[in-house]
Amino acid sequence: MLINKVTRFQIRKLENNVTLNALNTTLKMKNCIIASTSTLYGGDYLDYILPELSEHFKNCKTILFIPYAQPSGISYEEYTNKVAAAFDNINIVVKGIHEFESPKAAIDQAEGIFTGGGNTFLLVFQLYKNNVMDALANAIKNGTPYLGTSAGSNICGLTIQTTNDMPIIYPPNFQTLGIIPFNLNPHYLDADLQLKHNGETRETRIKEYHQFNTVPVLGLREGSWLEVKGEKITLKGSLSARLFRQNKNPEEIASGSDLSDLK
Ligand code: ASP
Protein backbone atom coordinates (compact mmCIF):
# COMPACT_ATOMS: atom_id res chain seq x y z
CA MET A 1 0.00 0.00 0.00
CA LEU A 2 2.73 2.40 1.09
CA ILE A 3 4.82 1.37 -1.91
CA ASN A 4 1.86 2.15 -4.15
CA LYS A 5 1.49 5.59 -2.65
CA VAL A 6 5.17 6.32 -3.10
CA THR A 7 5.12 5.05 -6.67
CA ARG A 8 2.07 7.15 -7.52
CA PHE A 9 3.75 10.18 -6.01
CA GLN A 10 6.89 9.52 -8.04
CA ILE A 11 4.91 9.07 -11.25
CA ARG A 12 3.07 12.35 -10.68
CA LYS A 13 6.39 14.09 -10.03
CA LEU A 14 7.76 12.61 -13.21
CA GLU A 15 4.69 13.70 -15.17
CA ASN A 16 5.03 17.23 -13.84
CA ASN A 17 8.66 17.28 -14.86
CA VAL A 18 7.85 15.99 -18.32
CA THR A 19 5.18 18.70 -18.71
CA LEU A 20 7.63 21.34 -17.50
CA ASN A 21 10.30 20.13 -19.87
CA ALA A 22 7.84 20.12 -22.75
CA LEU A 23 6.84 23.66 -21.87
CA ASN A 24 10.47 24.73 -21.74
CA THR A 25 11.15 23.17 -25.11
CA THR A 26 8.20 25.02 -26.60
CA LEU A 27 9.34 28.28 -25.11
CA LYS A 28 12.96 27.76 -26.09
CA MET A 29 13.30 29.93 -29.15
CA LYS A 30 16.05 31.88 -30.78
CA ASN A 31 16.50 35.32 -29.27
CA CYS A 32 19.23 37.26 -31.03
CA ILE A 33 20.44 40.69 -31.93
CA ILE A 34 22.67 40.45 -34.99
CA ALA A 35 24.24 43.86 -35.46
CA SER A 36 26.27 45.33 -38.30
CA THR A 37 28.67 47.11 -35.97
CA SER A 38 29.57 47.64 -32.33
CA THR A 39 30.35 51.32 -32.68
CA LEU A 40 28.87 54.14 -34.72
CA TYR A 41 31.15 56.83 -36.11
CA GLY A 42 31.92 59.30 -33.30
CA GLY A 43 30.16 57.13 -30.71
CA ASP A 44 31.38 54.91 -27.88
CA TYR A 45 31.54 51.15 -27.91
CA LEU A 46 27.96 49.71 -28.09
CA ASP A 47 26.40 52.97 -26.86
CA TYR A 48 23.93 53.30 -29.75
CA ILE A 49 22.37 49.93 -28.93
CA LEU A 50 22.60 49.83 -25.12
CA PRO A 51 18.86 50.49 -24.54
CA GLU A 52 18.08 47.44 -26.74
CA LEU A 53 20.69 45.36 -24.95
CA SER A 54 19.31 46.26 -21.56
CA GLU A 55 15.96 44.77 -22.63
CA HIS A 56 17.52 41.88 -24.57
CA PHE A 57 19.61 40.69 -21.63
CA LYS A 58 17.09 41.68 -18.94
CA ASN A 59 17.14 38.23 -17.35
CA CYS A 60 20.94 38.00 -17.29
CA LYS A 61 23.15 39.05 -14.41
CA THR A 62 26.22 37.84 -16.30
CA ILE A 63 26.98 37.27 -19.95
CA LEU A 64 29.71 35.27 -21.62
CA PHE A 65 31.90 37.18 -24.06
CA ILE A 66 33.70 35.50 -26.96
CA PRO A 67 36.73 37.65 -27.84
CA TYR A 68 38.23 35.22 -30.40
CA ALA A 69 38.06 37.72 -33.31
CA GLN A 70 40.64 39.97 -31.57
CA PRO A 71 40.20 43.26 -33.51
CA SER A 72 43.57 44.89 -34.29
CA GLY A 73 45.27 41.99 -32.52
CA ILE A 74 44.30 43.10 -28.97
CA SER A 75 44.46 40.47 -26.22
CA TYR A 76 41.42 38.58 -24.97
CA GLU A 77 41.78 40.38 -21.61
CA GLU A 78 41.88 43.86 -23.15
CA TYR A 79 38.91 43.09 -25.36
CA THR A 80 36.87 41.62 -22.51
CA ASN A 81 37.64 44.65 -20.31
CA LYS A 82 36.36 46.97 -23.02
CA VAL A 83 33.14 44.97 -23.32
CA ALA A 84 32.78 44.78 -19.53
CA ALA A 85 33.01 48.59 -19.29
CA ALA A 86 30.17 48.99 -21.79
CA PHE A 87 27.93 46.39 -20.10
CA ASP A 88 28.61 47.92 -16.71
CA ASN A 89 26.31 50.77 -17.85
CA ILE A 90 23.40 48.33 -17.83
CA ASN A 91 24.56 46.45 -14.71
CA ILE A 92 25.62 43.26 -16.43
CA VAL A 93 28.83 41.45 -15.53
CA VAL A 94 30.95 40.14 -18.43
CA LYS A 95 33.13 37.03 -18.32
CA GLY A 96 35.47 36.10 -21.16
CA ILE A 97 35.31 32.56 -22.50
CA HIS A 98 39.11 32.31 -22.09
CA GLU A 99 38.63 32.57 -18.29
CA PHE A 100 36.96 29.14 -18.20
CA GLU A 101 38.68 25.79 -18.18
CA SER A 102 36.10 24.36 -20.57
CA PRO A 103 34.89 26.76 -23.29
CA LYS A 104 32.08 24.35 -24.12
CA ALA A 105 30.81 24.23 -20.53
CA ALA A 106 31.04 28.03 -20.41
CA ILE A 107 28.72 28.24 -23.43
CA ASP A 108 26.35 25.53 -22.13
CA GLN A 109 25.95 27.35 -18.81
CA ALA A 110 25.88 30.95 -20.06
CA GLU A 111 22.90 33.16 -19.21
CA GLY A 112 23.59 35.22 -22.32
CA ILE A 113 26.33 35.31 -24.97
CA PHE A 114 28.05 38.09 -26.92
CA THR A 115 30.50 37.49 -29.77
CA GLY A 116 32.41 40.63 -30.70
CA GLY A 117 33.86 41.75 -34.02
CA GLY A 118 37.37 41.64 -35.41
CA ASN A 119 38.65 39.21 -37.99
CA THR A 120 35.99 36.73 -39.04
CA PHE A 121 38.47 34.07 -40.22
CA LEU A 122 40.28 34.17 -36.89
CA LEU A 123 36.97 33.97 -35.00
CA VAL A 124 35.86 30.92 -36.99
CA PHE A 125 39.29 29.31 -36.68
CA GLN A 126 39.12 29.62 -32.89
CA LEU A 127 35.51 28.45 -32.63
CA TYR A 128 36.45 25.27 -34.50
CA LYS A 129 39.77 24.88 -32.66
CA ASN A 130 38.01 25.07 -29.30
CA ASN A 131 35.31 22.75 -30.58
CA VAL A 132 32.45 25.09 -29.68
CA MET A 133 30.74 25.84 -33.00
CA ASP A 134 28.01 23.24 -32.32
CA ALA A 135 27.68 24.20 -28.65
CA LEU A 136 27.18 27.83 -29.64
CA ALA A 137 24.58 26.95 -32.28
CA ASN A 138 22.73 24.73 -29.79
CA ALA A 139 22.77 27.36 -27.04
CA ILE A 140 21.31 29.95 -29.40
CA LYS A 141 18.71 27.56 -30.81
CA ASN A 142 17.69 26.66 -27.26
CA GLY A 143 16.99 30.28 -26.40
CA THR A 144 20.15 31.66 -24.77
CA PRO A 145 19.98 35.39 -25.62
CA TYR A 146 22.74 36.19 -28.12
CA LEU A 147 24.35 39.36 -29.38
CA GLY A 148 26.69 39.45 -32.36
CA THR A 149 28.45 42.46 -33.79
CA SER A 150 30.25 42.39 -37.16
CA ALA A 151 32.30 39.17 -37.17
CA GLY A 152 30.05 37.91 -34.36
CA SER A 153 27.13 38.54 -36.72
CA ASN A 154 28.79 37.06 -39.81
CA ILE A 155 28.89 33.71 -38.03
CA CYS A 156 25.09 33.76 -37.63
CA GLY A 157 24.71 33.28 -41.38
CA LEU A 158 25.25 30.08 -43.33
CA THR A 159 28.87 30.80 -44.27
CA ILE A 160 31.48 33.54 -43.88
CA GLN A 161 32.08 33.86 -47.61
CA THR A 162 30.62 37.39 -47.67
CA THR A 163 32.69 38.93 -44.88
CA ASN A 164 34.83 41.98 -45.66
CA ASP A 165 37.81 40.46 -43.85
CA MET A 166 41.09 39.11 -45.17
CA PRO A 167 41.64 35.36 -44.72
CA ILE A 168 44.58 35.85 -42.31
CA ILE A 169 44.24 32.32 -41.00
CA TYR A 170 42.75 29.15 -42.48
CA PRO A 171 39.63 27.90 -40.66
CA PRO A 172 38.76 24.25 -41.27
CA ASN A 173 35.42 25.29 -42.72
CA PHE A 174 33.57 28.40 -43.93
CA GLN A 175 30.29 27.05 -42.56
CA THR A 176 29.00 28.74 -39.47
CA LEU A 177 25.98 28.77 -37.16
CA GLY A 178 23.10 29.04 -39.62
CA ILE A 179 20.95 30.95 -37.14
CA ILE A 180 19.58 32.86 -40.12
CA PRO A 181 19.15 31.09 -43.49
CA PHE A 182 21.16 33.63 -45.50
CA ASN A 183 24.49 35.44 -45.38
CA LEU A 184 25.46 38.90 -44.21
CA ASN A 185 27.76 41.63 -45.37
CA PRO A 186 28.16 43.84 -42.29
CA HIS A 187 29.34 47.50 -42.34
CA TYR A 188 27.70 47.59 -45.78
CA LEU A 189 28.95 50.56 -47.81
CA ASP A 190 27.38 52.03 -50.92
CA ALA A 191 29.73 52.82 -53.77
CA ASP A 192 30.98 56.41 -53.70
CA LEU A 193 30.92 57.41 -57.34
CA GLN A 194 33.04 60.53 -56.62
CA LEU A 195 35.95 58.41 -55.39
CA LYS A 196 38.70 57.97 -57.95
CA HIS A 197 39.26 54.42 -56.85
CA ASN A 198 39.22 51.36 -59.02
CA GLY A 199 38.87 48.55 -56.47
CA GLU A 200 35.72 46.43 -56.44
CA THR A 201 32.64 47.85 -54.73
CA ARG A 202 30.80 45.74 -52.17
CA GLU A 203 28.08 45.27 -54.73
CA THR A 204 30.60 43.88 -57.26
CA ARG A 205 32.10 41.49 -54.72
CA ILE A 206 28.68 40.16 -53.73
CA LYS A 207 27.80 39.77 -57.42
CA GLU A 208 30.95 37.66 -57.79
CA TYR A 209 29.82 35.54 -54.84
CA HIS A 210 26.54 34.94 -56.66
CA GLN A 211 28.35 33.60 -59.72
CA PHE A 212 28.91 30.46 -57.66
CA ASN A 213 26.40 30.56 -54.80
CA THR A 214 22.63 30.92 -54.47
CA VAL A 215 22.46 32.02 -50.81
CA PRO A 216 20.96 35.55 -50.48
CA VAL A 217 23.21 38.21 -48.95
CA LEU A 218 21.96 41.07 -46.80
CA GLY A 219 24.14 44.19 -46.80
CA LEU A 220 23.62 45.51 -43.28
CA ARG A 221 24.53 49.19 -42.92
CA GLU A 222 26.13 50.48 -39.73
CA GLY A 223 23.48 51.15 -37.09
CA SER A 224 21.22 48.39 -38.43
CA TRP A 225 20.61 45.04 -36.84
CA LEU A 226 18.45 41.95 -37.22
CA GLU A 227 16.20 40.95 -34.39
CA VAL A 228 15.60 37.21 -34.31
CA LYS A 229 12.75 35.94 -32.13
CA GLY A 230 12.08 32.28 -32.78
CA GLU A 231 11.75 32.04 -36.57
CA LYS A 232 10.86 35.72 -36.97
CA ILE A 233 13.60 37.94 -38.40
CA THR A 234 13.07 41.71 -38.42
CA LEU A 235 15.31 44.48 -39.72
CA LYS A 236 15.86 47.14 -37.04
CA GLY A 237 17.60 50.51 -36.82
CA SER A 238 16.97 53.67 -38.80
CA LEU A 239 18.49 52.65 -42.15
CA SER A 240 17.39 50.37 -44.93
CA ALA A 241 19.44 47.29 -45.85
CA ARG A 242 20.46 46.13 -49.31
CA LEU A 243 19.41 42.66 -50.37
CA PHE A 244 21.31 40.72 -53.02
CA ARG A 245 19.89 37.61 -54.65
CA GLN A 246 21.32 35.51 -57.42
CA ASN A 247 20.16 36.68 -60.87
CA LYS A 248 18.08 39.54 -59.40
CA ASN A 249 18.64 43.27 -59.11
CA PRO A 250 19.65 44.41 -55.62
CA GLU A 251 16.74 45.60 -53.52
CA GLU A 252 16.41 48.14 -50.70
CA ILE A 253 14.69 46.67 -47.64
CA ALA A 254 13.03 49.15 -45.28
CA SER A 255 13.71 49.07 -41.56
CA GLY A 256 10.97 47.13 -39.81
CA SER A 257 10.67 44.63 -42.68
CA ASP A 258 10.01 41.01 -41.90
CA LEU A 259 12.79 38.85 -43.38
CA SER A 260 11.58 35.54 -41.98
CA ASP A 261 10.92 34.09 -45.46
CA LEU A 262 14.27 35.07 -46.94
CA LYS A 263 16.28 32.02 -47.95
N1 ASP B 1 35.87 42.96 -39.63
C2 ASP B 1 34.46 43.11 -39.43
C3 ASP B 1 34.22 43.22 -37.94
O4 ASP B 1 34.11 42.24 -37.24
C5 ASP B 1 33.67 41.99 -40.08
C6 ASP B 1 33.41 42.28 -41.54
O7 ASP B 1 33.55 43.42 -41.95
O8 ASP B 1 33.04 41.33 -42.26
O9 ASP B 1 34.19 44.28 -37.45
The tens-digit pLDDT sequence of the chain (263 residues) is: 444 554 555 545 545 544 443 443 456 899 999 999 999 999 999 999 999 999 999 999 999 999 999 999 999 999 999 999 999 999 999 999 999 999 999 999 999 999 999 999 999 999 999 999 999 999 999 999 999 999 999 999 999 999 999 999 999 999 999 999 999 999 999 988 888 888 899 999 999 999 999 999 999 999 999 999 999 999 999 999 999 999 999 999 999 999 999 99
Confidence (pLDDT) at 12: 56
Orientation of helix 133-141 relative to helix 120-129, angle to 10°: 100
Domain range for 154: 28-190+217-240
Answer yes or no: is 16 within a domain: no
**Is position 9 within any domain?**
no
| pLDDT recorded at residue 8 | 56
Pocket-testing residue among 46, 119, 153, 165, ligand 1, by greatest number of atoms within 8 A of Cβ: 165
pLDDT of residue 24: 38
Give me the catalytic one of 36, 38, 153, 165. Answer: 165
Q: Which atom of ligand 1 is nearest to the CA of 38?
A: 9
- Residue 18 forms part of a structural domain: no
CATH number at residue 43: 3.40.50.880
Q: Is 238 a catalytic residue?
A: no
pLDDT at 36: 97
Q: Is 150 a catalytic residue?
A: yes
Domain contains 23: no
Q: Is residue 247 part of a domain?
A: no
In a domain, 113, yes or no: yes
Number of domains in the chain: 1
Residue 262's contacts (CB-CB under 8 Å, 6 or more residues apart) are: 181, 182, 216, 218, 233, 243
